[in-house]
Structure 1
C-alpha cells in the first residue's frame, strides 16, 4: 500500500477516497480501513471513506457523485464492478478518467482491461486489502 500511496502523492493527488461496498466492508475491508486512512494521512494525503455501496455497476453512478462532492482525485474502489460503473458515469458527465479523476479497482476482475479507458486495478484480492492494506500492491 505504501507504494501505491507514494505513487499517488508523486503524481499530484492530495485527497484519496476509499469507496467501499457492502460485501467487502462487512467481510474484509472494515478492519483495514483505519490502517489505510492512517497510512494516507501520515503521507500528507487527505482521506475519506465513501459507501458502502452495493457491488454492482449501477452503484458506480452514486459513488461517482459522492467522489466529485468530496473532491477526491483518486478513488480506490473495493468492487471493480462499482469502479466500472464510476468510470461510465464520469465519462457521461464529460469528466476524463484518469486525467480528471483516477479510479482504481481492487479486484482485477476478468474483462476490466476491455473497458474504456481500461480499469486500473490492484493485483490483490479485496480480502488482502482489508487484512493487510500495506501489502496490497
Structure 2
C-alpha cells in the first residue's frame, strides 16, 4: 500500500525535458514514466519557457546545443518561470559559475552517463517533495 501511495504521489510532480537529443529523451522519458512522473519534452527554447509557465515543473532537465551566452540567457528566462530544480547538461569546458548565477541548481558536464543524470534528478525531485511537505505543514 505504501508503494502505491508513493507512485500516486509522483504524478503530482511534473518534469520538463528541454532537449533535441532523441536518444537521451527516450531514456529519461521511459524511466520517469515508469516511476509515475508526468513528463513533457520540448525541443525549442521558446516552447520550453511557455511549457514551464504552464505546468510548473518540479524539475527541468536542459540539454541543448547552444552557445554559452544563449544557454545562460535561456537559464535565466527559465528560472523566472519556476521554483523547480534546473539541471543543465553542458560541455565540460564552459563557465559553470555563470550558469549558477543564471539560476541553475546543478551543472552536469557532458558527455554524461544517462543513469547519473537520472540519479541526480531523483535526488532533486525528492528534495522538492520534502520541501513541499514541510512548507505546507
Q: TM-score range by the shorter chain?
A: 0.5 to 0.7
Q: Structure 2 regions of 5+ residues with no counterpart?
A: 1-8, 121-137
Query: 2:13 — aligned with what?
Result: 14
Question: Does the CA contact (< 8 Å) of 1:18 and 1:75 recur in 2?
Answer: yes
Q: CA deviation at 1:30?
A: 0.8
Query: 1:76 — aligned with what?
Result: 61
Aligned to 2:16, the other structure's residue is in SS state strand
Query: 2:96 — aligned with what?
Result: 112
Aligned equivalents of 1:90, 1:32: Cα separation in 2: 21
Aligned equivalents of 1:69, 1:113: Cα separation in 2: 28
Q: Structure 1 regions of 5+ residues with no counterpart?
A: 1-8, 54-58
Number of corresponding residues: 103
Q: CA deviation at 1:48?
A: 0.7
Aligned to 2:110, the other structure's residue is in SS state coil
Q: CA deviation at 1:118?
A: 5.5
TM-score by length of 2: 0.56
Question: Whose RCO is larger (CA < 8 A, sep 6+)?
Answer: 1
TM-score by length of 1: 0.56
Q: CA deviation at 1:15?
A: 1.4
Is 1:65 aligned to 2:50, yes or no?
yes
Q: CA deviation at 1:90?
A: 4.4
Question: Does the CA contact (< 8 Å) of 2:75 and 2:103 recur in 1?
Answer: no
Question: Does the CA contact (< 8 Å) of 2:90 and 2:108 recur in 1?
Answer: yes
